[in-house]
Amino acid sequence: MRMSGSSEDPLVGGMRVQRATHTGGMPVRLHHIVVDAHDLPGLARFWTQALGWRVLSERENEIVIGTDENAPVGMCFMPVADPKTVKNRVHVDLTSSAADRDQEIDRLLALGARRVDIGQTGAESWTVLADPEGNEFCVVRPKETLIR
């Protein structure tokens, strides 16, 4: 499938991707990353401790966490009855300084994360972990070390 667009539109995966045109002055923005959970308080607690965030809103069927009320992005935990059965199609990448990456991985493991094998070779620049409910996430090298 080819998308129509000008020759100035970027190529992604060999396909020309048309740049978005927006109505009004502001494009849509990422608001929350929503995570299905069996234990809303427990999973929210893991992620607040992992990220150094805090609970911003807590209702019976929703817990929202973020850095503060004005944070551009937060995480929202919603109840689900079905068990997780397959690898996530979307995951979160976390980073820290190169000097403390291994310490941060150890800290996340102590909070309840676990190492996950999704077919890595061992040569990757990231480590795959899962939160206490099995949602995969990666701890990657700092961005400045990846773009050199």
pLDDT in tens, 47-97: 999 999 999 999 999 999 999 988 888 999 999 988 888 888 888 999 988
Global confidence as pTM: 0.77
pLDDT in tens, 9-58: 666 666 666 665 655 666 888 888 999 999 999 999 999 999 999 999 99
Indicate if 89-148 has the same CATH topology as 30-80: yes
SS3 42: helix
- What is the spatial distance between Cα 53 and Cα 31, in angstroms, rounded to a whole number? 15
- What is the spatial distance between Cα 8 and Cα 19, in angstroms, rounded to a whole number? 9
What's the pLDDT score for residue 7? Answer: 54
Contact between 34 and 76 (Cβ < 8 Å): yes
**pLDDT at 124 > cutoff 80:** yes
What's the pLDDT score for residue 56? Answer: 96
Could you tell me which CATH class the domain 89-148 is placed in? alpha beta
Ranges of each domain in the chain? 30-80, 89-148
Choosing among 3.30.70.990, 3.30.70.360, 3.90.550.10, 3.10.180.10, the CATH entry for 30-80 is 3.10.180.10
